[in-house]
């Protein structure tokens, strides 16, 4: 990870006054093979319950998908592709990374790239830093730049960084039916 996430969460106290409930690091984080994922927030259902403060991610391990009926917010980094790494090592690293976030089953078709995956969610993704390409089964979105937004609707995809610096993205994942 090139940067540490600061997470600030607000709440209302017993008198209905706004205040800081949490000011610290991510609820959970995982780093593997130059990439990383920081969990920011999760709601178990929509509409969210703001009547009390509860960090639903506290003490949990990172998971790729939001809970059923819920929403997850995270940031993640995509490192530059390293052509010096053999394909077998890339495949093993990808398998390990998805297993680490409880998503081995998300790798439905990896013929195009070892990081191809599909989730049962609609994801609103904003590229904050760096440049990326997004691979799909049929096609590729090239040259995504900071400020570009991708609405990823339960499709098989992979993020590919052909640049020289890590790319940073922020994502809001909403549970969805396939």
Structural domains of the chain ordered from first start: 7-175 (2.60.120.10)
Cis peptide before 53 (omega within 30 of 0): no
SS3 content of the chain, % helix, strand, coil (to 5): 10, 40, 50
Is the Cβ–Cβ distance between 102 and 144 less than 8 Å? no
pLDDT at 33 over 90: no
Rounded Cα distance between 134 and 89, Å, is 21
pLDDT at 178 over 70: yes
Integer CA distances (angstroms), 6 to 74, 119, 138, in order = 12, 27, 37
The phi-psi region of residue 154 (left if phi > 0; otherwise alpha if psi is between -120 and 50; otherwise beta) is: left
Give the model confidence (pLDDT) of 98-152 as tens digits: 998 999 999 999 999 999 999 999 999 999 999 999 999 999 999 999 999 999 9
pLDDT band, residue 38 (cuts 50/70/90) = confident
pLDDT band, residue 37 (cuts 50/70/90) = confident
Residue 29 pLDDT: 83
Give the Cβ contact number of residue 107 at 10 Å.
Answer: 19
Sorted by sequence, the CB contacts under 8 Å of residue 162 that are 6+ apart come out as 80, 81, 131, 133
Give the model confidence (pLDDT) of 63-105 as tens digits: 999 999 999 999 999 999 998 999 999 999 999 899 989 999 9
Q: Which of 1, 10, 13, 40 is nearest to 172 (CA)?
A: 40
Query: Mapping DSSP to helix (H, G, I), strand (E, B) and coil, where does residue 53 land?
Result: coil
**To which residue do tokens 């995982």 refer?**
30
């Amino acid at each position: 990870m090139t940067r540490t996430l600061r997470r600030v969460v607000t709440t209302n106290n017993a008198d209905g006054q706004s205040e800081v409930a949490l000011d610290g690091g991510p609820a959970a984080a995982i780093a593997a093979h130059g990439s990383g994922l920081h969990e920011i927030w999760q709601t178990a259902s929509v509409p969210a319950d703001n009547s009390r403060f509860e960090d639903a991610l506290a003490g949990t391990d990172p998971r790729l998908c939001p809970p059923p009926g819920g929403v997850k917010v995270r940031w993640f980094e995509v490192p530059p592709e390293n052509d010096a790494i053999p394909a077998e090592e890339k495949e093993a690293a990808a398998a390990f990374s998805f297993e680490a976030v409880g998503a081995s089953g998300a790798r439905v078709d990896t013929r195009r790239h070892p990081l191809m995956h599909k989730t049962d969610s609609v994801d609103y993704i904003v590229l904050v830093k760096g440049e990326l390409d997004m691979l799909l089964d049929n096609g590729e979105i090239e040259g995504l730049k900071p400020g570009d937004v991708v609405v990823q609707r339960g499709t098989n995809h992979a993020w590919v960084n052909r640049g020289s610096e890590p790319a940073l993205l922020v994502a809001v994942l909403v549970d969805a039916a396939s």
